[in-house]
Structures are given as structure tokens and as C-alpha cells.
Amino acid sequence: MSAMVLTFLISLAIMISATGTLYFSGTPVDDATDMMHALGPWAGDFALTLFTLGIIGAGLSSIFPNLLLFPWLIADYTGTPRNMKKPLYKLIVVIVALCGLIIPVLGGKPVWILIASQALSPFVMPLITLFLLILINKSDVMKGHKTSLWMNIALGATLIFNCYMLYVALIGLIKFIQ
């Protein structure tokens, strides 16, 4: 719980800082080097090192869960142990890792891919929250574990917030298209 709250607060601080400095100063961020230059006034020559460490940290914190997700889902679905030494699981991990090369090989800009992935999040999050709410309230899935009223209230509030964010995203998409 503390890790979740701290992650939220750190992300909130980063978004507020980025908005307050980049957007209002009119600093464009179209490429990864633009972000590095935006750090320049604050970090000086150390900005390149700081930015590089940040990107490596973000990549490492994302890649390991992404590589393990699909094999673990298959193991859970089939009811088999999570043995990552199986040839099928090794092949899946290699394929998922190679998918990370699609954007650089096709010449895509990483900043735009990051923005696009975040922009698609409001379209998926209401469904994920709804399915989670349904699953944790099914007694045949949860067996002896009972979901508390507070958990249902929190997930209900999250679902309402996600639906609102979906609405805001749709309005923004419609205005962008027109």
C-alpha cells in the first residue's frame, strides 16, 4: 500500500513539474533529446547522465514484468507450475523481447510511442477495473476470501474515475480529429 501511494505521489509530482515547466514555457518535446535539453537548466551537464539513468530505470522496471506476464498467464490458465525453463516459455520471452525492436526498426520516435501508449490507457482502464470488480466478487473465483466493502467502494470509485478519464480522452480525440 505504501509503495502504491508513494508511486502515485512521485508520478503526480513529475506530471505537475513537467506541466509547469515544459508546457507553459512552450518547450516542445518531440524527441528524447528534447527531454534531455529540458533538464539542462536544472541539472546542467549532468542532465545527460540523469536522463540516461532515468530511461534505463524505466525500461528495466517495465521489461521484466512484461516478459513474464504472458508465460505466467499461460501457466495460470493451464494450471501448470510457473517453470520459466520450459522451451515454450523461453520462446515467448524472446518473441516479446524482440517486439521491443519494432519501433526503432521502423523509425518511430520513442517520445510519440510513449505518449500514444499513455493516450490509449483511458480506453482500456475502465474495462480492466470492471472485470476486476466482477472477478473479486465471484465466490467461485475467490473461494474462502471475502472482498471487503471498502475494497468494493474503492474499485467503484476507480471505475467512475476511469470512465470520466475515458470521456475526457474521447472529447480530446474528437477535437484532435476535427
C-alpha count within 13 angstroms, C-beta hemisphere, residue 137: 13
pLDDT at residue number 160? 94
Q: What is the pLDDT along the chain (178 residues), one digit of tens a residue?
A: 677 677 777 767 766 666 666 666 776 666 666 666 666 666 667 766 777 777 777 777 777 777 888 888 888 888 888 888 889 888 988 888 887 778 778 877 766 676 666 677 788 889 989 998 988 888 887 788 888 899 999 999 999 999 998 898 888 778 877 7
Residue 153 covered by a domain: yes
Residue 120 belongs to a domain: yes
Residues 82 and 38 both lie in one domain: yes
| Domain around 70 | 30-100
Is residue 151 domain-resident?
yes
- Non-local (6+) Cβ contacts of 47 within 8 A are 36, 37, 39, 40
pLDDT at 24: 67
Crossing angle of helices 47-78 and 32-43, in 10° steps, is: 130
Domain tally for the chain?
2
DSSP notation for 41-65: HHHGGGHHHHHHHHHHHHHHHHHHH
Asked, for residue 91, whether it belongs to a domain, the answer is: yes
Of 100, 119, 145, which closes a domain? Answer: 100
pLDDT of residue 159: 93
What's the pLDDT at 40? 66
Question: Are 154 and 133 a contacting pair, CB within 8 Å?
Answer: no
The answer as to whether 8 is a domain residue is no
